Structure 1
Amino acid sequence: MSSIAIKNAVHGDISVGTVLTWAKQYTDQEVYDYYELAGAPAESLPEYLPYVLTVAPLTKLGGDLNYLSQRMDWRAIRPLRRNEEIVAELEVTRLEPTAGMTKIAFDARIRCGGEVVITGRSKGLIVSA
């Protein structure tokens, strides 16, 4: 494992092997608001979440880091229901500081309970402030 670490205001010290997590359970109102914003108000909410909401917790974690993605690949194993708690995990697999930025890569997972329901990878840059 690398001894290189960067500091982050939200997640503290980050190095290869660090797993960033964030949990989210959407309310019916949030799902309704999403459909309304998308221009397709739902009279009755569907059982399953729209895909963009299922991966949003991963992008929230990236936002905490000021992460600019160069590539993201996701694979959904099953759809997620509105009432399920989603736990997003980004595991740092590469960290390479350079002038003004840090190259970073992640293995990504979304869990519901103990079950992994979305997997993926992402690589990109963290822009230094």
Structure 2
Amino acid sequence: MNPAGTTAARLAARRGEQPPTDRALRLSVRLAAAKADAAVTSHFPTTHHKQDHHMTPIATDKTARAEQANELQIQNRTLEMHLLQESLARAHMQERLQEAEHQRVALQAHRAAKLVRKAERASLRARRALAIALM
């Protein structure tokens, strides 16, 4: 069984060409990836001053992409930490609002029960007064 790389090298040798080295092949792949990344990036509006704000990856340096990925992870982690504080504050406020709503409902139920008792006492007084008047 011949690996795919060996077959490609034999075909290139038949045509009189030198087979591409692994390094040259990797470099061409990286260049193609960098061109594709640069073509995909969105541009700023025309009212914005002309300055290169989007970070185009450096195709010839492996460490540049690794550093960008590392920097992106740090930025994401920082953003997550900021959002974590906001989420905690939002959850705390939501809990306090629910507690206040629960207290309002409890107070309303207490007032309703108090009014029912007051109405019952008034009804009993009216019955007594009517009974005394009819005797």
**What TM-score, normalized to structure 1?**
0.24
Greater RCO structure (CA 8 Å; 6+ sep)? 1
Larger strand proportion of the pair: 1
Larger helix proportion of the pair: 2
Q: Report the structure number with the largest CA radius of gyration.
A: 2
